[in-house]
Amino acid sequence: MTQDAEVIVVGAGPAGSTVATYLARAGVDVLLLEKTTFPRDKVCGDGLTPRGVKQLIDLGIDTSQEAGWVHSRGLRILTGELTLELDWPDLASYPPYGVARTRHDFDDLLARTAVKAGARLRERTTVTGAITDERTGRVVGVEAKAGEDRRPVSYRAPLVLACDGVSARLALSVGIEKDDRRPMGVAVRRYYRSPRHAEPYIEGHLELWDRSDPARPRLLPGYGWAFPLGDGTVNVGLGILSTSKAFRNTDYRALLRSWLDSTPEEWGYREDNAVGRIGGAGLPMGFNRTPHYRDGLLLLGDAGGMVSPFNGEGISAAMESAQLAAEHVVQALARPEGPSRERVLRGYPVALGELMGGYYRLGNLFAKAIGKPSVMRAATRYGLRVNPLIPLVYKGLSGCYDAKGGDFVDRLISAASRLTPSPR
């Protein structure tokens, strides 16, 4: 059988470009397929916590402000009655700063890094499904439509990596369905010209009120954010969890406008200052699609439901999964096809589970709990006033803790993650 590459990577977002970079640097022939062209935009908060910054540093990317990154020193938490400014924790595992950059620039940078490493990028190539071996059922390539004329094409390789985001088209084509027991989120965002564009803190608004009916305001299970981009604009958005009864019957764009109209006018979050349209996207959370490896197909990032149920961040997990996938693929390709290679590949979901599984199980319980407005209200009104709890809440929600060693709070989060039972 003619092979077009040793590995096909579908999707050149953070997961796809990162794994393509690592594989190409290891000498693997990588074909990277992307449905759009770069530079291109994505709906996202545009901000990375220190956990995500570590992944950029591991790739060898310059994260300095001189290289175009906007640094954050921490998180500002706002509720209706309280404002907290918390610097990023000083940890052995992660740098003490976050960064922000529009996905328009960020994804383009990562894709160019992959090409520089030796990956072969083909844009305007929309993968429609997997090609499987009729005898074994193993994934041996992909079908796609290429170019402006969307001509049918196919590509073959011993291994295929699904980095195709929330659509998870590849996984669906081989019958890997999402688990509806795991939480989903919806996020909407817009850019605004604002004097707050150079603030040193990213913001998390933990009380998200639907005031469309002034007589009956509703507290929703989600949060709002503001990521200063240093260029005169701020990325402002909100996310809602599926654990709420309001999840399927809310006009999210109208909710965003309603919420922003209630913010101080001097912040600038008004229609006259808006840049571009409101964008929305789904957030697949808490490993909501498994298995992460089956018969020659690996799921990475959003395709495998790797958005944090705690804070809605998916970029750092996507890049972490890419690093793990690259390690296992390189080791697998060094072995002959057959049982020995399969043993290595089956180690990928095991490694993912060890890195993220317990934390996500804990996050799934958290998402279920705050789906109840009374719990959400109590958590924001009382929990953040208990000073000893603040480091626990902060490190837990941000995912910025030392999994090995660290202080008492780090060890407590790690222990809670290990001891949280798997959902039935």
The tens digit of pLDDT for each residue in 42-56 reads 888 899 999 999 999
When pLDDT is averaged across residues 101-114 and rounded to a whole number, the result is 96
Q: What distance in Å separates the CA atoms of residue 188 and residue 173, rounded to the nearest whole number?
A: 28
Sign of the torsion angle spanned by Cα atoms 38, 44, 45, 47: negative
Higher pLDDT pick, 47 / 2: 47
User: Quick check: 146 pLDDT over 70?
Assistant: yes
Whole-Å CA distances, 195 to 82, 198, 220, 259 = 22, 7, 28, 19
Task: Return the pLDDT at 422.
Answer: 65
**Antiparallel, parallel or unpaired: β 120-122 and 30-33:** parallel
User: Quick check: 27 pLDDT over 90?
Assistant: yes
User: Quick check: 169 pLDDT over 90?
Assistant: yes
**Antiparallel, parallel or unpaired: β 7-10 and 83-87:** unpaired
Task: Return the pLDDT at 385.
Answer: 75
Q: Confirm whether 7-71+98-180+288-364 and 184-284 share one CATH topology.
A: no
When pLDDT is averaged across residues 337-358 and rounded to a whole number, the result is 95
Q: What distance in Å separates the CA atoms of residue 175 and residue 139, rounded to the nearest whole number?
A: 12
The residue extents of the domains of the chain are: 7-71+98-180+288-364, 184-284, 369-419
When pLDDT is averaged across residues 102-115 and rounded to a whole number, the result is 96
When pLDDT is averaged across residues 410-417 and rounded to a whole number, the result is 88
Low-confidence winner among 67-81, 148-162, 332-346, 356-370 (lowest mean pLDDT): 356-370
**Antiparallel, parallel or unpaired: β 159-162 and 297-299:** parallel
What confidence category does residue 423 fall into, taking pLDDT thresholds of 50, 70 and 90?
Answer: low
Task: Return the pLDDT at 125.
Answer: 97
Q: Which fold has domain 7-71+98-180+288-364?
A: FAD/NAD(P)-binding domain (3.50.50)
User: Quick check: 220 pLDDT over 80?
Assistant: no
Low-confidence winner among 227-231, 246-250, 255-259 (lowest mean pLDDT): 246-250
Task: Name the maximum alpha-carbon separation found in the chain.
Answer: 68
CA-wise closest residue to 323 among 16, 5, 42, 10: 16
Q: Which residues contact 127 (CB under 8 A, 6 or more apart)?
A: 10, 33, 35, 142, 143, 144, 164, 169, 170
Q: What is the mean pLDDT of the chain?
A: 91
Q: What distance in Å separates the CA atoms of residue 410 and residue 170, rounded to the nearest whole number?
A: 37
Which residues sit opposite 129 in a β-bridge?
A: 143
Task: Return the pLDDT at 324.
Answer: 98
- Chain-centroid distance of CA 110 in Å reads 15
Q: Which fold has domain 184-284?
A: Alpha-Beta Plaits (3.30.70)
User: Quick check: 424 pLDDT over 60?
Assistant: no
pTM (2 d.p.):
0.94
Task: Return the pLDDT at 231.
Answer: 94
